[in-house]
Amino acid sequence: MKRRILAYFVRIMAAAIAATTILMTLLTYSMFEKRIIEDLSVDARVLEALLKAGDVQSILNELDDALRVTIVDRQGVVTYDNRVDAAGMDNHLDRPEIAEAMKNGEGRDVRDSRTVDSSTFYYAMRLESGGVLRVAKEAASIWSIYMRALPLILLMTVLMIALNVAVSHVLTDRLVEPIRRLADDMDGVHSAASYPELQPFVRTIRSQHEEILRNANMRVEFTANVSHELKTPLTSISGYAELIESGMAAGEQARHFAGQINKSASRLLTLINDIIRLSQMDSPDAEIECEIVEPGQIAETVIEQLRMSAEKMNVTLKADVRPCMISADRRMMEELIYNLCDNAIRYNVRGGSVRVEVRPVKDKVLLIVQDTGIGISKENQERVFERFYRVDKSRSKATGGTGLGLAIVKHIAAKHGAQIALQSEPGSGTTITVSFDRAGR
Ligand code: ADP
């Protein structure tokens, strides 16, 4: 990362230096050129005035060698040049500055000299005679100006690279430091020291980290609970089996013990089934197979299955279902309704009742399981959905409970995007409402 940032910096800086150099050179050169031509034009005007006033030759002979002076007549024939013999010079009408001066009164041009590092600047003006007076001077070319600036530019570049290395080092360190600190200590609350752009990231990481910890804790707790739950029926199975094996129990008593073994074994089976269901639903790639189902129909089927156990508890079952559809996994729907109705019967009172209602409300379908049972106190209402949480352990066990029924209900509801609401009053009953999205309207 550091290297990449540095590379970016260096590239940007190189482009900036190159652009600045080119621009500055062009600007300086154009000013420089303008200045030389202006000087030349002043020289030419002074010369013209002097020429008008006095003896041409003697004035021209006095001229400093730095300035080249050429005079041509109106046909372009060179009549005088202070550097070259005029007689040997070709016609000058084709020189741009002279042609321009003939036409407009004055003309200028810059031409490369024989060497690359200098250029010749020309200024020409028309004389009253119709001929042209031209003055010329050699000066540094744009290239030589650039070459002169080059060492300075190189020095600047080196300095800038050094500065860039230092700055990018400091910047990346500052950027990375809070992340490194976070990686070292996930629970550290000193994130305030980091910069605001990092805050959402820190928050997400932290909440995920907490979630992972929570899940890990839950798993450990769950494993401990499972072992404990499995141990109880297994202990009683092996106890009774031992008694029968040793011959201490015989006849009627042995049959009674065998019955106990059977009971514990089926309890074990129910428990294992529930655990398997939960872990199936827990696995992240567990797909639910949704189809359009009528929860009212499923509720009626479940009620039929539970009629026997309701009669045993002397509880009446009523169904009030309206036709409406939801998109759900049929088997999970059956489980959810079964678990809710089963609880409503098992935690009921003799002579109590259970009412199952399914009805559409706007774009929702409500499944309401209402009982007139023992109810759940306020402080337990939140916890009953936890795995293995039971308000009255002995009653739960006596009625074949595993403490997992509502955890499974909660799971299924979550998988279907449904919401659960629990209303309960100890001594007068419990109502659990699950609201699903309505389908196929
Ligand atoms: P269990 O297998 O013990 O019934 P659940 O997860 O189904 O486990 O329920 C957890 C606990 O919530 C139960 O042990 C019971 O104490 C309480 N509970 C559940 N449903 C009802 C209800 N309808 N009325 C009163 N208490 C209930």
Query: Does any domain span residue 341?
Result: yes
Round to whole Å and give the CA distance between 47 and 59. Answer: 9
What CATH code is carried by the domain that includes residue 230?
1.10.287.130
Distance 406 CA to ligand 1 centre (A): 7
328 and 432 together in one domain: yes
The answer to whether residues 369 and 404 belong to one domain is yes
Task: Provide the mean pLDDT of the chain.
Answer: 89
Q: Do the domain assignments include residue 131?
A: yes
Indicate whether residue 348 lines ligand 1 (CB < 6 A).
Answer: no
Averaged pLDDT for residues 107-126 = 87
Are both 272 and 299 inside the same structural domain? no
Nearest ligand 1 atom to alpha carbon 389: 10
Q: Which of 222, 384, 393, 402 to mutate to test the pocket of ligand 1 (most atoms within 8 A of CB)?
A: 384
pLDDT band at 191 (very low <50, low <70, confident <90, very high): low
Share of the chain above pLDDT 70, in %: 95
Cα(274) to ligand 1 centroid in Å equals 14
Choose the final residue of a domain: 94, 126, 145.
Answer: 145
CATH of the domain at 93: 3.30.450.20
10 and 141 within one domain: yes
> Does residue 34 sit in the same domain as residue 118?
yes
Residue nearest to atom 21 of ligand 1 (CA): 343
Atom of ligand 1 nearest to the CA of 406: 6
Q: Alpha-carbon distance 187 to 198, whole Å?
A: 16
- pLDDT band at 203, cuts 50/70/90? confident
The reply to whether 44 falls in a domain is: yes
Asked if residue 307 and residue 248 are part of one domain, the reply reads: no
Mean pLDDT is lowest, of 147-161, 180-194, 199-213, for 180-194
Question: Domain span at residue 106?
Answer: 2-145
Q: Do 9 and 128 have their domain in common?
A: yes
pLDDT band at 324 (very low <50, low <70, confident <90, very high): very high
> What is residue 164's predicted lDDT score, i.e. its pLDDT?
85
How much is the average pLDDT of 190-204?
74
Q: For residues 313 and 346, is the Cβ–Cβ distance under 8 A?
A: yes
* 237 and 110 part of one domain: no
Instruction: Supply 189's token pair.
Output: 């609350």
Question: Tens digit of pLDDT for each residue in 399-421?
Answer: 888 999 999 999 999 999 999 99
- Decide if pLDDT at 4 tops 60: yes
pLDDT of 119 reads 87
Any domain includes 152: no
**pLDDT of the residue at 372:** 97
Do 274 and 390 have their domain in common? no
Asked whether residue 188 is domain-assigned, the answer is no
pLDDT score recorded for residue 193 = 57
**Euclidean distance between CA atoms 101 and 163, whole angstroms:** 53
Structure tokens at 259: 């019955």
Domain count, the chain: 3
Q: Is residue 196 part of a domain?
A: no
Q: Identify the domain boundary among 234, 256, 282.
A: 282
Task: Give yes or no for residue 190 having a pLDDT over 60.
Answer: no
Give tens-digit pLDDT for 384-404.
999 999 998 888 888 888 999
Residue 105 has what pLDDT? 93
Residue 66 lies in a domain: yes
160 found inside a domain:
no
- DSSP classification of residue 116: T
Last residue in a domain, options 218, 247, 282:
282
Torsion-angle region of 351 (φ positive above 0: left; ψ -120 to 50: alpha; else: beta): left
Q: How far is the CA of 390 from the centre of ligand 1 (A)?
A: 6
Our mutation pick for probing the ligand 1 site, out of 340, 343, 392, 395, counting the most ligand atoms within 8 A of Cβ, is 343
Residue 313 predicted with pLDDT over 90: yes
Q: What is the pLDDT of residue 320?
A: 97
User: Is residue 260 located within the same domain as residue 366?
Assistant: no
